[in-house]
Structure 1
Amino acid sequence: MFLNRDLSLKGYPKTYMAGQITGVEGYIESTAMGLIAGINASRKLRGKDFVPVPENSAHGALIKYITESNPEGFQPSNINFGLFSSLKERVKDRKFKRRLIVERALKSWKEYLTRIKEDE
């Protein structure tokens, strides 16, 4: 794919991408990529280290998808449960499994926000 994990272009690390051009589908997803690109560009300009978005958060799952998918036959995607990494334990009940995935995603997202705020 053409993006680094910080949403900068491979070969042009000072250029960040956001919105649908990144390979996400949907208003919320496009806005989310803009948020992350903005955070990462701001951190780079201020000399701060890159802090990767956790892959088991919604933002991180999308970033993993758009940066690591096979470019052949790539299809833009909304966020969906299929993009999240598997749980450590096997859970048969679909609703309960999704609840656990959401709880893990929210916890990871909060930890990410705390980490980037600590650098301010």
Structure 2
Amino acid sequence: MTKRILIIDDEPDIREATQLCLEIVKGWDILTAGSSKEGIEKAILEQPDAVLLDVMMPEVDGLATFDQLQANPSTRHIPVILLTAKAQAADQRQFTQLAIAAVITKPYDPLTLADQIDAILTAYAA
């Protein structure tokens, strides 16, 4: 079954590169959003199989976006994978306290990203 993945990231180049990666390697249906507001609206409307969420975004950051997704009954079941350049130990500890599916650190390897996400979603569903 083809997965539908929503990428929420304020950087157009990151969105495009990640989208191409996942479409080419896995043939997944990829949706993108450039802001928290747009991402939440798409998550509610499209009900993706997972959300790849950038942590550092202007206006509303990824953690606040995650909180909003968790607070909404129609999106709280969607696994969220954080994409972040914040790899410090304190940041990682904060992330593990959240009900997220996983954290993928930027820069990620485009050749292994799709398999990494697939493994995360398989483990999350188990």
TM-score by length of 2: 0.30
Structure 1 or 2: more strand by fraction: 2
Higher helix share: 1
